[in-house]
Amino acid sequence: MPERCELLNKCGFFLNFKGNSEVVKQGWIRTFCESKEKSEKCKRKEIRRTTGKPPKDNMAPTGKLL
Ligand code: SF4
């Protein structure tokens, strides 16, 4: 099994929005969270790195707000 994003268990987006219909439709979890390599392109991860704080939970990995 490929390695997943290391932030999964503390990411507010993943924890609170993984069942959201828009999130499911867009396939963001599959596209970003379930691959360590692809998660490096996640805007949420980038913001956490640059600011030291997680973005609001409703921000998707693409930066789009739900
Ligand atoms: S939304 Fe981004 S930071 Fe959160 S689990 Fe998915 S890839 Fe990781």
**14 in a structural domain:** yes
**3 in a structural domain:** no
pLDDT of 1 reads 62
User: Residue whose CA is closest, atom 6 of ligand 1?
Assistant: 33
**Mutational test site, ligand 1, from 4, 28, 35, 45, max ligand atoms within 8 Å of CB:** 45
**36 in a structural domain:** yes
Q: Angle 31-33-34 (CA atoms, 0-180°, nearest 5)?
A: 80
**62 in a structural domain:** no
Integer Cα distance of 54 and 1 in angstroms: 27
pLDDT of 15 reads 98
Q: Which domain holds residue 41?
A: 8-51
* pLDDT in single tens digits along all 66 residues of the chain: 679 999 999 999 999 999 999 999 999 999 999 999 999 999 999 999 999 999 999 999 999 999
- Tell me the whole-structure pTM to 2 decimals: 0.94
Task: Tell which atom from ligand 1 comes closest to the C-alpha of 42.
Answer: 2
**21 in a structural domain:** yes
The structural domain count of the chain equals: 1
**59 in a structural domain:** no
**2 in a structural domain:** no
